[in-house]
Amino acid sequence: MTPMEQRERDVSTFELDVHWASGRPRGTPLEAHVVECERCRAYLVGLDAIAAAAPAPPSALPVHVNAEPRLAPRASRSPRAWALPVLGAMALAASVVLLVRTASRPSNGYVAMKGTPSVELLIHRDQATGVWDGRSPVHPGDSLALRVACEGLHVVAVASPGPAGWGRLSETPCPTSGVALPFTLLVDDQPGDEQLAVVLSQDRLDDAWLSTAIGRTERDGEVWVVRLVLPKTVPGQ
């Protein structure tokens, strides 16, 4: 038997990859092999680490709340807790949260059915992830992610300002509460604050309506707008 033939009797990356992607079913000959084989075990640990390093959506959880400083306080505002998922061994650690919460609008008679929508901004910096505290500046190179609680609304759009007004960067159905939107932003090194608008709505808004809603920071039973202004610290400036 040649060395090649011998090697072919061993476990390939493909085989292990399929096994890993299948959730490592127990009781299989391959899983039994992994238990005995240090190299295969180490390989699977490496895949776990790659998966862990990704911004996995947290399962749910509530914990801490920080009011967005730029929003005017409302009499009926009550703290709403959010929990930060323990991203465990992944070292996606700490969190800084911006939790925007506000109260329902008393003036139009709207009564929120499940609570008020909220938005949480996660900052990933130096191997650690935290929730923005609503004040601290972001730095060039920071990765930003958003987590929203739609509370009965169905669509979430994210927009940023441009020369022609607010432009839609993303629009998706509302995710399960506590699940991060499936993208991150990277802060650049240009001076000036960064701005984002998160628009939660019952139905998709057209561009004009979206801009208007953001401009007015509308908040009612149909549309809920959260504007984020993030101060930025640029080294050397």
Structure tokens at 129: 């992830």
> What single string gives the DSSP state of each residue in 142-209?
-EEEEEEE-TT--EEEEEEEETTEEEEEEEEEPPPTTPBPS--EE--S-SS-EEEEEEEESSPPPHHH
Restricting to residues 173-192, which ones interact with other proteins according to CB under 8 A? 173, 182-188, 190, 192
Told to check if 161 binds other proteins by CB under 8 A, we report yes
Chosen residue from 47, 61, 83, 93 binding other proteins by CB under 8 A: 47
Distances (CA, A) of 81 to 41, 137, 178, 234: 40, 23, 12, 32
Structure tokens at 98: 């911006």
Chosen residue from 72, 87, 128, 145 binding other proteins by CB under 8 A: 145
Told to check if 29 binds other proteins by CB under 8 A, we report no
Q: Please report, as a single letter, which amino acid is at residue 200.
A: L
Told to check if 22 binds other proteins by CB under 8 A, we report yes
Chosen residue from 39, 70, 114, 135 binding other proteins by CB under 8 A: 39
Interface residues with other proteins (CB under 8 A) are 3, 7-8, 10-18, 20-22, 37, 39-40, 42-43, 45-48, 50-51, 54-57, 143, 145, 154-155, 160-162, 167, 169-173, 182-188, 190, 192, 194-196, 204
